[in-house]
A and B are shown apart, each in its own frame.
Chain A
Amino acid sequence: MKQIAARIAWSVGLILAVIVMCFSLVHLAPGDAALVIAGDSGAGDPELIEQIREDLGLDDPYLVQLSRYVGDVASGDFGTSYRFNEPVTSLIGDRIWPTILLVTTALLFAIVIGVLVGVFTARRPESPVSHGVTVFSLVGYSMPVFWTGYLLIIGFASNVRWFPVAGMRDVRFEGNRFEEWLDIAHHLVLPALTLGLIYLAQYSRLSRASMLEVLQSDYVRTARAKGLAERKVVYKHALRNAVIPVITIAGLQFGALLSGALLVETVFNWPGLGRLAADSVFQRDAPVLLGVLICSAVLVVVINILTDVVYRMIDPRIRVGGSS
């Protein structure tokens, strides 16, 4: 518990560093925010530009702007979008849940199926299925995520029409809450599959290797010597040990998963944070971009803390001793 508290305290410092770094990068980027806000029609009016600069404090020194921004963020104010003229928190609030839904589904799909496939192939390492999984993993890992997305759209949305091409909801949808969830789930299949496939390939390889090692361990031999059925030996005694590296890697890769979500959201027109970030870059909407970056950093930090908690639940050597 003490270690988790220390981890949270450390994470607060980390997020602060991320805020400073993101703000500095955006501040250093070329372009004038006042011109963006004034738009095409107002860009020719120097008085309007000056007024905007004064209102937003854009003429203040960098450190003044930074400390003002950090103070605002600490009180939950991420500023107002230049483009939408809406609070950034409300824009992120609308977009964060689709991203969390997409990323969580893809991650769970990759972990659960990846571990099951890994266990299956580790038990039959020389079988054709095992070799097939190795080839599939290499292919899955090598394919760019956007290309996988387009292949799945062509295959399952355009040709056989099992799933919608893009979006999160059917624009013609009418129905109750349960039907609405079903509609979202229907739209979620292809994006989650696209994002999950690359990680499925990695996790199945990782679990296979880990399981092969664990199945040779002395405690598995002890479990067999006790007379336990092979199913119990594998799923009770070996799996819990074999899954530890998968959990570790999944936690570490969450940041990469969020980056992948940006591409997937663009390909499938999924209304998440990734698309909001991409749009804000093209429209030089600095408050939104900063908000998304900070929000992503917080998500990564939270997931890493959760990974730590899960890790401790699975492996008592860390829970009791503090170190292994």
Chain B
Amino acid sequence: MEPLLSVRDLTVTFGSFTAVDGVSFDLHEGQTLAVVGESGSGKSVTALSIMRLVELGTRGKIENGEILFRQPGGEVIDLVQQREDDMRKIRGNAISMIFQEPLTSLNPVYPVGDQVAEAVMLHQGLEKAEAAERVLEMFRLVRIPEPEKRMVQYPHEMSGGMRQRVMIAMALSCDPKVLIADEPTTALDVTIQAQILGLMRDLREQTGAAVLIITHDMGVVAEVADDVVVMNRAKVVEHGPAVDIFENPAEPYTQALLASVPRLGSMQGRSEPAPFELVEYDS
């Protein structure tokens, strides 16, 4: 089956520094693909490149590669070649994104409902009242309690978990075909992390959106991913179904990444934690 999104030999640079080097992977309809790797491995830059946000507000440049996206009509376009005007019609609409920092990703001076309604009004051409109805519907979908009250509140009046729900509502408000979630649970405490992951899994089933999740947390990968792309030093080092990656990691870096996950009971019989072994890996 033809993929919904196909990243081909993507290379992104920041001046003389190569942040993403020849990365390729496919994302299919209804699939959850996790891109994992340590900080600085190029995961987030890959995600921002798909949205073509790497060239806005940062000095990143897509040097090479294709990002092929199958539009709702079936036509396949290369996002790298799209003009900025055309990309704006895709961003927040057919492809949307959730960011790592729910505490700072919402504008502090506007009510959260208005911020979600803005996307709906822009892409779906709804009037303000209709957009407000849609926002309420989305807030209920992401299980925000008392949505009527919440939509007029400002971000600082909400908890981190609640703000991330607002971000998810915003991202899903225009029925995207691809949802990119860049470390959506990193800034949240564990109980809220579990709630958000559960919510994302349910929403994927309800909306049918393909999910590209960026994370360094192998626990999150085990929870939600069908397939996994492992990145290190700007390159893909391993790619395969999540079950295979967890059971038979082929590459030493993937093995090291899995070995670095702390486990309950690992301090049994010890007075202090074992020293952390630094793993050097050359791709």
Q: Are B104 and A217 in contact (CB under 8 A)?
A: yes
Number of interface residues of B (CB under 8 A): 32
Query: Chain B nearest CB: distance from A126 CB in Å?
Result: 10
Whether B57 contacts A227 by the Cβ 8 Å rule is no
| B176 nearest CB across to chain A (Å) | 11
- Which residue of the partner chain, among A215, A221, A225, contacts B96 with CB atoms under 8 Å? A225
B119 with A227: CB separation less than 8 A? yes
Cα separation A223 to B119 with both chains bound (whole Å): 9
Cβ-defined contact, B57 with A220, below 8 A: yes
Verify if A54 is at the interface (C-beta below 8 Å from B): no
Within 8 A of A (CB), among B82-131: 84, 88-93, 96-97, 99, 101, 104-110, 115, 118-119, 122-123
- CB neighbors of A among B151-176 (8 A): 154, 156-157, 167, 170
A182, B88: Cα distance in complex, Å:
46
The answer to whether A222 touches B156, judged by C-beta atoms less than 8 angstroms apart, is no
- A interface SS class: helix
- With A227-B123, A229-B88 as known contacts, state yes or no: A317 contacts B107, CB within 8 Å: no
Asked if residues A241 and B122 are in contact (CB atoms below 8 Å), the reply is: no
Contact A224 B56 (CB under 8 A): yes
B-chain residues with CB within 8 Å of residue A221 when the two chains form the complex: 53, 57, 99, 105
Q: Are B108 and A222 in contact (CB under 8 A)?
A: no
Flag whether B68 is at the interface (Cβ < 8 A): no
- The residue in chain B whose Cβ has the minimal distance to the Cβ of A214 is B107
Q: How far does the Cβ of A16 sit from chain B's closest Cβ, in whole Å?
A: 36
Whether A224 contacts B107 by the Cβ 8 Å rule is: no
The one of A215, A217, A225, A315 in contact with B91, judged by C-beta atoms closer than 8 angstroms, is A225
Q: How far is the CB of B252 from chain A (nearest CB, A)?
A: 35
Within the complex, the shortest CB–CB distance from B84 to chain A, in Å, comes to 8
* A45 close to B (CB within 8 Å): no
When C-beta atoms are compared, the residue in chain A nearest to B154 turns out to be: A316
Question: Within A192-240, which residues are at the interface with B (CB < 8 Å)?
Answer: 215-230, 237, 240
A132 CA / B204 CA spacing, docked (Å): 52
Q: Cα distance A216–B106 when bound, in Å?
A: 13
On whether the beta carbons of A218 and B119 are closer than 8 Å, the reply is no
User: Does B108 lie within 8 Å of A317, measured CB to CB?
Assistant: yes
Q: Are A224 and B122 in contact (CB under 8 A)?
A: no
**A226 adjacent to B170 (CB under 8 Å):** yes
Please tell me the number of chain A residues within 8 Å of chain B, measured between CB atoms: 26
Known contacts A221-B57, A316-B154: A227-B109 contact under CB 8 Å: no
Indicate which residue in A222, A240, A321 contacts B109 across the interface (CB closer than 8 Å): A240
Once bound together, how far apart are the Cα atoms of A228 and B84, in whole Å? Answer: 11
Across the interface, which residues of A come within 8 angstroms of B84, CB to CB? 230
CB pair A227 B108 closer than 8 Å:
no
**In the complex, are the beta carbons of B107 and A241 less than 8 A apart?**
yes
Q: Is the CB of B119 within 8 A of A226?
A: yes
A227 and B91 within 8 A (CB): yes
Q: Which residues of B contact A52 (CB under 8 A)?
A: none
Quick one: which of B53, B57, B122 contacts A216, CB cutoff 8 A?
B57
Asked if A29 is at the interface (CB within 8 A of a chain B CB), the reply is no
Find out whether the CB atom of A321 lies under 8 angstroms from the CB atom of B91.
no
Also in contact, A222 and B154, with CB within 8 A (given A216-B57, A227-B90): no
Docked-complex contact A223 and B93, CB < 8 angstroms: no
Which chain A residue has the least Cβ–Cβ distance from B111?
A316
Is B200 on the interface with A (CB-CB < 8 A)? no
The reply to whether the CB of B51 lies closer than 8 angstroms to some CB of chain A is: yes
Determine whether A314 belongs to the interface, using a CB cutoff of 8 Å to chain B: yes
Name 24 interchain pairs, CB-CB below 8 A, sorted by A: A216-B57, A218-B101, A218-B104, A218-B105, A219-B104, A219-B107, A222-B107, A223-B107, A224-B56, A224-B57, A225-B99, A226-B122, A226-B170, A227-B119, A230-B56, A230-B84, A237-B107, A237-B110, A241-B107, A314-B109, A315-B109, A316-B154, A320-B157, A321-B156
